[in-house]
Amino acid sequence: MHMSSPRPVVHLELRTGDHARASAFYAKLLCWRQELIEAGSGSCLALGLGGGFGGGIVECGTARPVWLPYVQAGQIEESTERARQLGASVLLAPREGPAGWRSVISAPQCGELAIWQPKPWRPSLNTGRKPLAWR
């Protein structure tokens, strides 16, 4: 696989054990807009970070809060396999979600990174607009 241009970071996800306090802190400090997103396996808080950049807060059993950057890739399977060939561990194999496919990789020298392949956007039947995280 040959990449001709840098892959952009398109989303930041905060993994924390205290969703409520984290979201209140960032709303007060940085004026980040928030929108609760319900998904089949739970919910997350979408964040409007400004500048067309999306983010979210996910509550999980983590020892300490950590930010996970999402990098957009053309082909999720190929990008995940390329990371494995370069020595990364695959923490989450490519999986489909409501807005696209993601995998999570980790390398000791780099930390964790989510690889993201979005689905083509379709207007919501309820609002006719993109979700906050996509604006």
pLDDT of residue 39: 67
Pairing of the two strands 33-39 and 100-107: unpaired
Within-domain flag for 4: no
**CA dist 84 to 53, 80, 100, Å?**
27, 6, 21
Q: Consecutive sets of 10 residues in the chain, 135 residues long: mean pLDDT of each?
A: 76 90 90 78 76 83 90 94 96 92 93 92 49 45
- CATH classification of the domain holding 13: 3.10.180.10
pLDDT of residue 31: 86
Biggest distance spanned by C-alpha atoms of the chain: 44
Within-domain flag for 56: yes
For residue 21, count CB atoms less than 10 angstroms from its CB and return exposed for 0-12, middle for 13-18, buried for 19 or more: exposed
Within-domain flag for 68: yes
- Tracing tokens 């004026």 back to the chain, one arrives at 31
pLDDT of residue 135: 42
Number of domains in the chain: 1
Within-domain flag for 39: yes
Provide the domain limits for residue 102: 9-134
**CA proximity to 18, closest of 55, 57, 56:** 57
Within-domain flag for 122: yes
How many other C-beta atoms are found inside a 10 Å radius of the C-beta of residue 42? 10
Global pTM exceeds 0.85: no
Within-domain flag for 1: no
